Every structure is written in C-alpha cells, then in structure tokens.
Amino acid sequence: MNINPASSLPLPPGNLGLPFIGKNKIFPKNYQDYIKEMYEKYGPIYKTRIRGKKFIYFQGYEAVKFVLTNENKYFTSPIIFKNSQIIFGKTDITRLVGKEHRDRQKLLAQVLKKQALNNYINTIHNLSQGYFLKWIKSDFVDLYFEINNYTLDLVLKLLLGIDSASESEIGNYLKDMMSGLNTIPLAFPWTKLGCALKSKDKLFNQFEQIIVKRQKESDFGSDVLGILLTVREQTHNQITITEIVEQMVNLLSLGKKELSSALTSFLILTTEHLDVLNLLQIEHEKLDKSEPLSFAKLKKMVDLEQVIKEVLRLAPPVSGGLREVLQDCSFQGFRIPKGWNVGYRISSVLQDPEIYEQPERFNPERFNLVNAEDQKKPLCYIPFGGGVRECIGKEFAYLVIKIFISALLDNCSWKFKENQDLTINTFPVARPANKIEVCFTQK
C-alpha cells in the first residue's frame, strides 16, 4: 500500500471559522500590519476560510519560495474567481496549464520581446509628453484618475493603434467589462456581471472590425495587432482571429492597473523623499539631451532603476497570487491537502527583515551594486511573482515606468496640494487611499 507521508501530518495553525461564511470575509484596512500580525500569530503558514473556501496562506521568504518553486507539481492555477472565468473564459493565460500555458507564453512573448519593445519606445514617450502638456494647463489634476487614463490610452495605442481610447467607446466598454470582475457571479441583464458581458461582446465586435480592416492593408504594422497578424500569416493561419482578439483582451486586462499603481506610488514616494528626487534630477541633468531615447540611453539611468525597484518593493502593485493544491504535500511539518486553495503574499517577502535591512525604510541604495539586497537569495525580489508564472510583462512595465518618469523629469516640476493624506492602500492593488491632487508646471 502506498502511504502518503503528508496525510499523517497536522494541518497548519489557524481558524477555519464557519463553513460557507468563513473567518475572513474581508481583509483589514492596513494590509501590511495585518500580514505582520498573522506572521506573529501563526508563523509562515496558516489556514483560514474565505468566502466559504479553505485556504492556506504562505508568508515570508521560505514559505513563498516553496509555492513558487512547486508550480505544476503541488500547485496549479486556481478556479476560484468565477467572474473572471465567466468573462475571460478558458483562454485566460492565468488559467492555462502545461503545454497550453507554455504555448501561450511563447505567443505573448512575441509582442513583449526586446525587438517589439524597441518599437514601442517612441509611442510611450510621445503619449507621456501629451499627457504632461495637458496637465500643465490645469491647476491641479486628480493623479490616480489621470494616470489610469494614461495607461488605458497607452495599452490601446500599443495594441491596436487607437488614439485617446480613454475618451472612446472602446475605453468605456473595457472599463464596464472590468467592473464585472469583483461582483456577485450572477449573469442577468440587470446585474453588473451581465452588463460586463454585454460590454465584452461589444469590445470583441469592435476589435474584430479593426482586425478585418487591418488585414486588408499592405503592411500589418508594428503594434501588437500587427505582430500577431504577422505570426498568424507565418504559421499559415494556425491562430484564429478569435484567438487574436482573446489575447488582446487578455493583455488589456492584465497589467494596466498594476502600471497605474506603480506610476502613482512612484510619484507619492519620491515626493515624500525629496532627497531621492533630487538625486534623480542630478542623474538626469548629466544625460545628453540630444541623444534620442533608446534602450542604451535608458540603461544609463541607474539611479532611476534603483528607485523604481524600491517603489515596487515598498508598494508592490500586486499583493499576492493564488493557487490550488494539486496533490497532498507538506511544508515545515504541516499538511497541505489536495483541493485546498493557497495564497502567497508578495510583500511578506519584499519586506522580510531577514532579506531587506530596515525593510520599512525607503532606501533605493539597497539595490546598488554593493548592497544588492535583491540578489541575496533566489526569488527574494518578487514584485512580478516568480517561477513558471512570473509576469511576462515585467520588461515592458520597467520600460513604461522609466520612459514616463524620465520624460516627466525632463519636462515638468510638480507639487502636491498641501495637507493631503498620501497613504497608499496596498490591498488588493496598491493605490492611494484618497484622491490626490497634484499641480504640474513646465520646467
């Protein structure tokens, strides 16, 4: 008889609360304090129940590394978010496993590889400058709202070549579709999910029309659609038009709010640490203004890169990831039963005092060549996750943040309205707790 050693072990500490209702219906307001409290109470893993489902949470470096390095062996993509399944269907990359997952990664890598990113540089730069011109004409702008519109315009311009999407029908359909993700999973015409699905159909329709038009053109173009149509032609139509539309919607839904979060947190944290902003300005002034923007020029912005890393460490846009347990396994003497859900916490690693000195301090120098705290151990710097499901948009995200901030440093000074609450809520996606108003002026 085959005895599974894990089955004889105790379950992790914690409290499952009542079935169906569970213990944690909501997470507390201050997520960082909550994580610390849970760690002090239970250590690296604990069980709980959320919305009726049994969960084990992994926190701290060793525990999170266990989850990230055992993908497809002990853990797989979860099926707990009904709405995202209903809206995105089976084609969502975060749901795919095995060969299908690898094939999808390969396909999406075509639009995110260095050569493709190189073609996006000017678009990102021009769009950023367009926004700054608009902002300097207003007294104060609502920072998060504006940055959200910027990222929406940016992704739709890069995907399909559409201008000013935030003011277009497509932008509205997308917003409506996304607003169905965190609502009751009932798809009737009068429910939020029902409306989201209607908007999704309209979005798909518009995309299809754009694709049909583009196919008739002699040159497919160098945006994401152009690249995918070229791959389709080269592989003798192996990818269908519907699949292309699905991939575009998938890319649109992943990464936009994370980018908005990173840009907003960057401005908040550097405004709170003017010494750091000063250093960035000095680095910028040393750059050759006549040299066109390129990967080589962006590589010279070493301080900027360190500040971006520190922003993503202290205010990681994504709070964590979820998985389902594929087979019984154990961690530090506790049983992790098959079929349960698992959550891993990104900030518990990025702010683990075993890895980061004085983790609560904003100190970009921790990433310089001498300190290199992110190199201390494998998988200790994980704002983009890690392992098989590491974010495929990572290089693109760095590119956008670097270009946006460097263009901002070139063109504008900014001042936050006085006496504003600059708290960043870090759960579920880091964003300002309140409206933040900023005044931009031309340099």
Question: Where do contacts with ligand HEM occur on this chain (CB under 6 A)?
Answer: 93-94, 105, 251, 254-255, 258-259, 262, 317-318, 321, 383-385, 389, 391-393, 396-397
**Considering beta carbons, is residue 187 or 307 the nearer one to ligand HEM?**
307
**Considering beta carbons, is residue 187 or 320 the nearer one to ligand HEM?**
320
**Considering beta carbons, is residue 293 or 388 the nearer one to ligand HEM?**
388
**Considering beta carbons, is residue 135 or 384 the nearer one to ligand HEM?**
384
For 142-169, give one letter per residue: b (16+ CB within 10 A) or e: ebbebbbbbbbbbbbbbbbbbeebbebe
Name the residue with tokens 């902003």.
277
Q: What minimum distance in Å lies between the beta carbon of 405 and ligand HEM?
A: 13
SS3 category, 34: helix
Q: What minimum distance in Å lies between the beta carbon of 100 and ligand HEM?
A: 11
**Angle at CA of residue 229, ends 227 and 231, nearest 5°:** 70
Pairwise CA distance, residues 195 & 274, whole Å: 45
Residue 231 half-sphere exposure, CB side, CA atoms within 13 Å? 22
151, 321, 424, 429 from 27: Cα distances, Å: 27, 15, 15, 13
**Considering beta carbons, is residue 400 or 412 the nearer one to ligand HEM?**
400
Q: What minimum distance in Å lies between the beta carbon of 80 and ligand HEM?
A: 12
- The residue among 310, 302, 312, 308 whose CA lies nearest residue 369 is 302
Q: Which structure tokens are listed for 64?
A: 């999170």
Pairwise CA distance, residues 330 & 338, whole Å: 11
Q: What minimum distance in Å lies between the beta carbon of 177 and ligand HEM?
A: 17
**Considering beta carbons, is residue 326 or 439 the nearer one to ligand HEM?**
326
Pairwise CA distance, residues 141 & 136, whole Å: 9
Q: What minimum distance in Å lies between the beta carbon of 12 and ligand HEM?
A: 20
Q: State which amino acid sits at residue 192.
A: K
Which own/partner contact pairs does 165-170 have at CB distance under 8 Å and 24+ positions apart?
A: 169/202, 169/206, 170/203, 170/206
Instruction: Return the biggest CA–CA distance within the chain.
Output: 76
Q: What minimum distance in Å lies between the beta carbon of 137 and ligand HEM?
A: 28
- 25: exposed, middle or buried (C-beta count within 10 Å: 0-12, 13-18, 19+)? exposed
Q: What minimum distance in Å lies between the beta carbon of 410 and ligand HEM?
A: 22
Q: What minimum distance in Å lies between the beta carbon of 339 and ligand HEM?
A: 19
| 170, 206 contact by CB (below 8 A) | yes
Pairwise CA distance, residues 135 & 144, whole Å: 13
**Considering beta carbons, is residue 68 or 187 the nearer one to ligand HEM?**
68
Q: What minimum distance in Å lies between the beta carbon of 425 and ligand HEM?
A: 16
**Considering beta carbons, is residue 111 or 279 the nearer one to ligand HEM?**
111
**Considering beta carbons, is residue 298 or 439 the nearer one to ligand HEM?**
298
